[in-house]
Amino acid sequence: MATQLAGVDDETAESWRLVHPEVDQTKKIVLHNVADLTVSGIRRLCSSYGTVVDAYKTNKAGLAFVEFSNETEAALAVKQLNMKLGFNYNADLAMPKETLPTITTDATNDEAKDVPLTDESWERTSLKRRFNLGFSLPLLINFPAQESLATSAHYRATDGCLKRTDPELFFRIYNVQELFDTPKLMLYDPEELQKRNKASEKKYSDERNHFDGEFFTYRGLTEEERAHFEIKYCVVCKGLGFSYCKDCGTHYCCIEHQRQHLEEHNRYCSPIDPAGDTPTEIKSDTEAQPAATNVLKRDPLPAKVEVIITAVLTPDRIYVRSAEKSAIEQYVETIGEFAAAGLNAAPVVKSKAPTVGDIYLAMYEPLGVYGRVLVADVNAKRSKCVFIDYGMVAFVSNDALLLIDDPVLAHRKVLLYKVCLTDITDEQGEREKAVQYLLNLKDRPLRMHYRLEGNNIVNVQLQTPEGESVNDMINKLIKIIPLKNIRSDSYVMYKDLTQSVPAVGKNKQIMILNRTTILLDSRITWISLEDLPYLKNLQSMLECYGKKVAEFEHSYLPREGEMCLVECLKHWYRGVCYETAGDGKPAIFLCDYGSMTLVDLSNIRKIPIQLATKAVRTHDGTVANLDEAKAEGLTLDTMFLDIYLPENELVTVDVSQTTFEEGLPGTQVKETYTLINLHELDIFFNSRNVTL
């Protein structure tokens, strides 16, 4: 059986085969117009697309072959090289062409020298060639940055401290290391201050000074002399205090004692009196109240307490309130007062612009009542706010923010607590199931055990009234157990998968994921801006699961039309087995990216039902007026596509649908097509018609 390389004459192809007789031709590409490049230059040119195993220039001027480590890298190189503007490499896979076999016999030997090509072998050897024009690689999407509303950083202003809140900043979960093991709370370097005190002790160690018991004291000094040495004592151990609170002047000898005293310190801490440079009057524990009304305060929780979930931010970050009867009554009264205050409140924008750290009223949509909000970030039209008494973070229109006339009401005691659940898995599995599970527990009292670090509620364990561990249940819901690569009855067919309906309307933002079919029937594969977070989350789940099963040695050959998990360009995707073949490289359709590719069996795994059944939110769409423009002579070159049909960029379009019947009379079937009208392309078409 004679073979030749596509696009290459027989002499050149034979020269290549003599140098590389045993190499799989599907891993190689052929390049044209590279006479000005050396072999090293060709290697550097192609190395950005994969591992270059070999490069070879032929006797024919401007023609070269490049071999990659696998066919996926070769296909990527073909696509990218042909997209280079200003170059005409005409890259293509060095695919073998088949010629019809002939049966010849020798006069002395009746055995056939050439074996006839059977239907089965023809099917196997020609599969790649038949898909050469149709296959493409998945787009490595540059997902737009998402602004999450559930992370701790969004509860703080850019300067690191929200105004009108107490030092604990309870809208953020701290690491205890951040609170205590940094010099931020120290007005003096402890080591330097200790050296100064030791020097003072040595200098004034005379008859006026002596040791009284365990601790060093000074006697015989005037008040002015004593003030010179700034000698203060730790409130915990009565030793020399080397650091102090800048608000109330309480001194500590070490970080450990500062940590031990923090809870009690926060009860009475008051700003230093500017006139006397001494702390204001300290009340007893029973009378301890905030000295100022323009700060937010809350009471400490018992170590073991029943709580009710009010908001779920992530599977490991939630807001809770006490389930104690008196706390519930106080909570209902508080939210009722804010709901009533919002009925006659004036808009903020009529008197001033919203300010970061200020407290206003806004409509709490889930309940349809007004609630108190703390502004975390201000933009031109809307501000990021946290609903203090509900624990929900949301964007609120600046026009919808209302003033609170009563400052005492605005800074009413907070009855919510942000808690951090312990030992929650960081796996990117079915996290939405865990969130839904927590939402279903919102109305039930839960037993909470926790540890207090830096006045933050961490290492939280929750239990249901039945004794079930909420933390363990969350992990069970998130994790996806790896499936062994064996055929079983649990599989999903692509035809049974849910396909989302594209949102029809004007001025929609979409991203083009694949345009390889644009030359055939003017179709593109696209996804809406609103669905990109869904695809990003799905991709994270596939990557996480793919790492689990990457080491499975047994290959998995899916049925035709069956969903599977495939690895391509070192990433994992959902695939549909389009057509199997005996060469071990079935054709796979990557349904979330609209790409057809050939995948080695070693890179195919069985996909769990949880991932297989997630809806496909990408769509096919016909580009409006493109067929007519092509009929009039429009050339769709790389430059044109990059300008008017760019991949990996958000473009503004109008989306519409049309339905018509296809088939013979009596057997007609209604087909619905999506029409994509790209704004920039439409402007080009209109200008072209004017020119003509």
Identify residue 418 by its one-letter amino acid code: K
* pLDDT band with cut points at 50, 70 and 90 for residue 267: low
23-27, 285-289, 515-519, 642-646: least confidently modelled range = 285-289
Tokens of 92: 């293509």
Name the amino acid, one letter, at 526: W
User: At CA 652, angle to CA 646 and CA 653, rounded to 5?
Assistant: 100
The tokens describing 552, both together, are 């499975």
What is the pLDDT at residue 271?
A: 44
Interatomic CA distance for residues 438 and 462, integer angstroms: 11
Note the pLDDT of residue 274. 39
Sign of CA dihedral 122, 124, 129, 130: positive
Percent of the chain residues topping a pLDDT of 90: 29
**Which region holds residue 86: left if phi is over 0, alpha if psi is between -120 and 50, else beta?**
left
Phi/psi of residue 494, nearest 5 degrees: -60, -35
Of 23-32, 250-259, 378-387, 662-671, give the range with the top mean pLDDT. Answer: 378-387
Say yes or no to pLDDT of 3 above 50: no
Q: Identify the three-state secondary structure at position 538.
A: helix
**191 or 636: which leads in pLDDT:** 636
Q: Yes or no: say if 455 and 301 are a contact pair by the CB < 8 Å rule.
A: no
- With CA atoms as reference, report the closest residue to 619 among 528, 542, 539: 528
d(CA 471, CA 457): 15
Give the pLDDT band (50/70/90) at residue 413: confident
Question: Can you give the pLDDT at residue 361?
Answer: 95
Return phi, psi of residue 619, to 5°: -135, 155
Angular region, 34: left φ>0, alpha ψ -120 to 50, beta rest: alpha
Average pLDDT over residues 265-284: 46
Closest CA to 250 of 226, 266, 227: 266
Q: How far apart (Å, rounded) are the C-alpha atoms in residues 657 and 666?
A: 24
Residue among 628, 657, 494, 482 nearest 561 (CA): 494
Indicate if the alpha-carbon torsion angle 50, 56, 61, 63 is positive or negative.
negative
**Which position has the higher pLDDT, 416 or 288?**
416
Query: 15-29, 77-91, 182-196, 339-353: which range is least confident on average?
Result: 182-196
Q: Output the CA angle 159-161-165, nearest 5 degrees.
A: 155
Torsion sign (Cα): 40, 42, 46, 48: positive
Give residue 401's pLDDT.
Answer: 94
User: Looking at residue 506, what is its pLDDT?
Assistant: 94
Q: How confident is the model at residue 547 (pLDDT cuts 50, 70, 90)?
A: very high
Contact indicator for 75, 137 with CB cutoff of 8 Å:
yes
d(CA 364, CA 607): 41
Plot region of 83 (φ>0 → left; ψ -120 to 50 → alpha; else → beta): alpha
> What pLDDT is recorded for position 662?
67
Given this model, what pLDDT does residue 618 score? 95
So what's the pLDDT on residue 154?
35
| Phi, psi of 163, rounded to the nearest 5 degrees | -70, 160
Q: Which secondary structure element, helix H or strand E, spans residue 610, and what is its range?
A: helix 609-612
Tokens of 546: 């793919």
Distance in angstroms (rounded) separating the CA atoms of residues 309 and 420: 12
**Residue 620, number of CB atoms within 10 A of its CB:** 16
The CA-based diameter of the chain, rounded to the nearest angstrom, is: 131
Query: Is 258 within 8 Å of 237 (Cβ atoms)?
Result: no
In which band, very low, low, confident or very high, does the pLDDT at 464 lie, cut at 50, 70 and 90? very high
pLDDT-derived band at 158, boundaries 50, 70, 90: very low
Q: Which two tokens stand for residue 294?
A: 């323009």
pLDDT at 525: 93
Spatial CA neighbour of 171 closest among 451, 440, 396, 384: 384
The pLDDT value given to residue 564: 94
426, with CB counted inside 10 A (0-12, 13-18, 19+), is: exposed
Three-class SS of residue 319? strand
When the pLDDT of each residue in the chain is averaged and rounded to a whole number, the result is 75
Better-scored residue on pLDDT, 16 or 500: 500
Contacts of 613 (CB under 8 A, 6+ apart): 492, 497, 498
Three-state DSSP class for 8? coil
Q: Which parts of 202-274 are beta strand (E)?
A: 209-212, 215-218, 243-244, 251-252, 272-273
d(CA 99, CA 119): 14
pLDDT-derived band at 237, boundaries 50, 70, 90: confident
Query: Per the structure block, which two tokens stand in for 311?
Result: 């908001």
Amino acid, single-letter form, for residue 266: N
Predicted local confidence at residue 121, as pLDDT: 47
The kind and range of the H/E element at 628 are helix 626-631
pLDDT at 444: 93
Can you tell me the distance from the alpha carbon of 321 to that of 309, in angstroms, rounded to the nearest whole number? 7
Query: What HEC string does 262-303 produce?
Result: HHHHHHHCCCEECCCCEECCCCCHHHCCCCCCCCCCCCCCCC
**Separation of CA 94 from chain center:** 39
- Proportion of the chain above pLDDT 70, given as a percent: 70
Indicate the range of 6-10, 308-312, 636-640 predicted with least confidence: 6-10
Q: What is the pLDDT of residues 297-347, one digit of tens each?
A: 778 888 788 999 998 888 888 889 999 999 999 999 999 999 999 998 999
Which residue type, as a one-letter code, is found at position 494? Y
Query: What's the 3-state SS for 613-665?
Result: CCCECCEEEEECCHHHHHHCCCCCCHHHHHHHCCECCEEEEEEEEEEEEECCC
pLDDT of res. 476: 95
Q: Return the pLDDT at 180.
A: 33
User: pLDDT tens for residues 501-519?
Assistant: 999 999 999 999 998 888 7
Task: Rank 4-18, 233-247, 265-279, 630-644 by mean pLDDT and report only the highest.
Answer: 630-644
pLDDT digits (tens, 9 = 90+) for 23-72: 445 788 988 888 888 888 899 888 888 889 999 888 888 889 999 988 88
- Name the pairing type of β-strands 446-453 and 456-463: antiparallel
Q: Which residues pair with 460 in a beta bridge?
A: 421
pLDDT of residue 535: 94
Q: pLDDT band at 163, cuts 50/70/90? A: very low
Amino acid at 310: T
pLDDT recorded at residue 196: 59
**Residue 200 pLDDT > 60:** no
- Model's pTM, two decimal places? 0.62
Amino acid identity, position 600: D
Contact (Cβ atoms closer than 8 angstroms) between residue 13 and residue 50: no
* CA pair distance 548, 668, nearest whole angstrom: 48
Provide the 8-state DSSP code for 592: T
Spatial distance between the Cα atoms of 233 and 5, rounded to a whole number of angstroms: 89
